[in-house]
Amino acid sequence: MMIYGIKNCDKVRAAVKQAKADGIEIELHDFRVHGIDETLVNDMLKDIDMADLLNKRSTTWKQLSDFEKIEPNVGLLVANPTLIKRPVVFEAKKYRIGL
C-alpha cells in the first residue's frame, strides 16, 4: 500500500499508524520530500473527483486568488500539494482518500 501525503500531517500519521497496526506494509510518499507531478495527479483523478481531492479547508486554499479558485486544475495541485486532501491511498491499483 502506498500512502501519499505529508509525513507531519496528523491524518497521514494516523493512517500510517493504523496500517502498521493492521499488519499492512506501507510506503509513504511525502509530497514535500518526493514531490508530485502532473502524471501522479492525473492518475489520482481517474479514481477521485477533483471536488473530493481538493482540500478547500487548507490554509493554502484560503490564500489563493478568486481567479485560481474558479476552476482548480492539475497544475494548481502540482504547484500546491497541500491542496490535496490527505492521506491519499493507492492499493489494489486504485486511489482513494483515507484508509
Indicate which residue of 9, 45, 74, 99 is catalytic. 9
Q: pLDDT tens, 58-87?
A: 999 999 999 999 999 999 999 999 999 999
Strand partners, 97: 88
pLDDT value of residue 99: 79
CATH architecture of 2-97: 3-Layer(aba) Sandwich (3.40)
Query: Model confidence over 16-35: pLDDT tens digits?
Result: 999 999 999 999 999 999 99
Known active-site residue 9:
yes
Domain ranges of the chain: 2-97
